[in-house]
Amino acid sequence: MQLGLILGDQLSRTLPTLRRLNRDRDFIVMAEVWAEARYVPHHRQKLFNCFSAMRHFADTLASAGWRVRYLPLDGATVYASLREAVEAVVTENPVDRIVVTEPGEHRLLTDIAHWETHFGCPVEVLEDTRFLISLTDFAAWADGRKALRMEYFYRWMRQRTGLLMTEDNRPEGDQWNFDADNRRAWRGDPPTPAPLLFEPDSIDQRVAAMIDDQFADGWGDVQPGLWPVTRAQAEAALNHAVSHLDCFGDYQDAMANGEPWLFHSRLSSALNQGLLSPLEVCEAVADAYYRDRIPLNAAEGFIRQIIGWREFVRGLYWHLRLYEPQNGLDHHQNLPTYFWSGETRMNCVHQTVTQTRAYGYAHHIQRLMVTGNFALIAELDPEAVSEWYLSVYVDAYQWVERPNTLGMALHADGGRMTSKPYAASGQYINRQSDYCKTCWYKVKESTGTRACPFNGLYWHFLMRHQDRFRSNGRMGLMYRNLDKKSEAERTALWQQGEQLIARLTSL
């Protein structure tokens, strides 16, 4: 008899574990354990999403005739770790083999590597085939390349999948990338679509009560029905997203006061839990383009996020061992408390953190160019920032979070993922949002008490790291602008940056 362990982000009927098991003879274990719930201070909405989706999936499997042993955190016995949970089941039901699909996080894979000795039976770790490219194929693509850049990987994936490719193997519209068309600021029109909400059922209600009881000290609000937690809900969310994707391309980099969603799909949580597959999502978007329901820049921009960034960062996580500590710029400042409270005069940070606390969500530009950009130019410790990102978002799993945080946002990987750091002054945020209009700080000022902190920190960052970045061709304009300033101006900007870093906690 085999025991199949299914993890909380493996909620797919196509999971290799299910394919390997015999429904009549073997059984499945799913467990909510303290080690997974508290290894970082997870947003309570994420905990709700995970546990509710797991319980719904276990019910679905049981209804399909599988023998399922589900161990909840509010059950008679609570287990500290997955190994303890499996051990309790194996003690009651001796098994010949343990089967699990490879986890997405290195720490779990390392733990499972010792299980065979611990349990005295074979432990089979199956390749996770739910991604569009295997780790072996990614390594083959990466082998011998001087630089690993997403754009080249993305083009290769377009050809490999055939998505948005013509019959003669050319990209639709004769362009690989329409990113230049996707940078419009949103000024209130067109109207944003209302988010799709779901009616909480009895499972949702029990999980919400459990979160309130067991995680009363946790961070973030819980709203049952805000995110899909079943396959049917995920399919509905996909249909809703595609039907409102026509404006996504134009405004995907936009930000606005009181508008957490804008035109974003909110599918990443369902994707990362396994409720949707990346290929079905991309095919639905491509089909909408071919039916003239959405423009090409929206379809291409969306698909690039899935087959480009999502697959790319997973490959980099394992290929470059980005689960290990990274601090290529030698930054060590403590994480300010307003990353949790939102209590700061910087309106862009306040807006992003406040909505993150409410929903467990901020879209990619808020993460990269507000909190990520600030963390970079304020010299925050990258491991502390990485733990924060892993903690606060409903879609955050280590394989996708660490490359995006350490590589893209913080350049802490030594430039292995991106050719330049994503450092920017407050002018970028002013251009892409209305945040600066209601901010206490003045975005057009770089020095002085009310000068935008992003400005002083940006110039300070360039000066501090000029030996590293001045020869970077993609940063030439930045340094030419710095060189145009007088010595007195540069001295004032350096001092402004030093003062800002000294009082980061009170900005």
User: pLDDT digit string (tens) for 305-335?
Assistant: 999 999 999 999 999 999 999 999 999 999 9
Which run of H or of E encompasses 35? helix 34-38
Q: What is the pLDDT of residue 29?
A: 97
Residue 147 has pLDDT above 90, yes or no: no
In terms of pLDDT, which residue wins out, 76 or 304? Answer: 304
Residue 78 has a CB neighbour count (10 Å cut-off) of: 16
- The structure tokens listed for 364 are 């990619």
Residues 6+ apart with CB under 8 A from 136: none
Q: What mean pLDDT comes out for the span 357-373? A: 97
Query: What are the structural domains, with CATH classification, of the chain?
Result: 2-126 (3.40.50.620), 135-193+244-319 (1.25.40.80), 338-506 (1.10.579.10)
Instruction: Return mean pLDDT, the chain.
Output: 96
In one-letter notation, the amino acid at residue 308 is G
pLDDT digits (tens, 9 = 90+) for 265-309: 999 999 999 999 999 999 999 999 999 999 999 999 999 999 999
Residue with tokens 């930000």: 255
Report pTM: 0.96
Reported confidence tier of residue 179, pLDDT bands at 50, 70, 90: confident
Which pLDDT tens digit goes with each residue over 218-239? 999 999 999 999 999 999 999 9
Three-state DSSP string of 122-191: CEEEECCCCCCCCHHHHHHHHCCCCCCCHHHHHHHHHHHHCCCECCCCCEHHHCCCCHHHCCCCCCCCCC
Across the range 245-266, mean pLDDT stands at: 95
The pair of three-digit structure tokens given for residue 472, joined into one six-digit string: 């970077």
Distance (Å, rounded) from C-alpha 294 to C-alpha 249?
A: 9
Q: What is the pLDDT of residue 181?
A: 78
User: Which residue carries 């274990």 as its tokens?
Assistant: 29
Q: Sheet holding 97-101: strands in order across?
A: 68-71, 27-31, 2-5, 97-101, 123-126
Map tokens 């805000």 to a residue.
Answer: 226
Residue 491 to residue 497: CA distance in whole angstroms: 10
Q: What is residue 26's DSSP assignment? A: -
Q: Is the pLDDT of residue 183 over 90?
A: no
Residue 303 sits at φ, ψ, to 5 deg, of -65, -35
d(CA 126, CA 23): 18
The confidence score (pLDDT) of residue 146 equals 85
- Is the pLDDT assigned to residue 454 strictly greater than 90? yes
**What mean pLDDT do residues 185-201 have?**
95
Q: Provide the pLDDT confidence category of residue 495 given band limits of 50, 70 and 90.
A: very high
Please compute the mean of the pLDDT values over residues 394-421 and round it to a whole number.
95
> CB under 8 Å to 355, separation ≥6 — which residues?
260, 361, 362
Please give the pLDDT value at position 182.
Answer: 81
pLDDT at 435: 98
Write down the pLDDT at residue 378: 98
- Quote the percentage of the chain above a pLDDT of 70: 100
Whole-angstrom Cα distance, residue 43 to residue 431?
A: 30
